[in-house]
Amino acid sequence: MLETILAISGKPGLYKLVSRGNHGLIVETLDAVKKRMPAFSTDKVISLADIAMYTDSEEVPLRQVLKNIQEKEQGQKASIDPKKASKDELAEYMSQVLPNYDRDRVYPSDMKKLVLWYNILVENELTDFDEVLQETEGDNIEDRKKAE
């Protein structure tokens, strides 16, 4: 699921991959408008499945961080307002969600974006963060069987 949810640098919100074209991607906004538009090869586009958060020991995949927020919030929207929260409030929230996050490399802007993205995913009922792990593991098993 997170493979088809995209973040585009310089553009707010999240986007769903609709199609691949010759000169880029066709994406759809994850909001009430559901506006479709092209994302060109010059745009910096990244799948949420490819993002990780820094911790003191390793990088934790974004799906795990989102799952931690989901457990903390019991599947509801975040209890903190990322637009109005202070740096200290964001840091406290982040320490509850990912206690060993790297305080030098995870900035308040990253924390705001994380909470905003989580809220967008909850609003659009895209909250099965384990789905990707199960699909990937199943694909790898089938690929191994084909290779044998």
- Fold of the 52-131 domain: Arc Repressor Mutant, subunit A (1.10.10)
- The predicted-structure confidence for 11-63, as pLDDT tens digits, reads as follows 999 999 999 988 889 999 998 889 999 998 889 999 999 999 999 999 999 99
Q: Domain residues of the chain, as ranges?
A: 2-48, 52-131
Residue 104 is predicted with a pLDDT of 95
Residue 131 is predicted with a pLDDT of 59
Q: Transcribe 3-38 into DSSP letters.
A: GGEEEETTS-S-EEEEEE-SSEEEEEESSSS--EEE
Q: What is the pTM of this model?
A: 0.83
- Fold of the 2-48 domain: SH3 type barrels. (2.30.30)
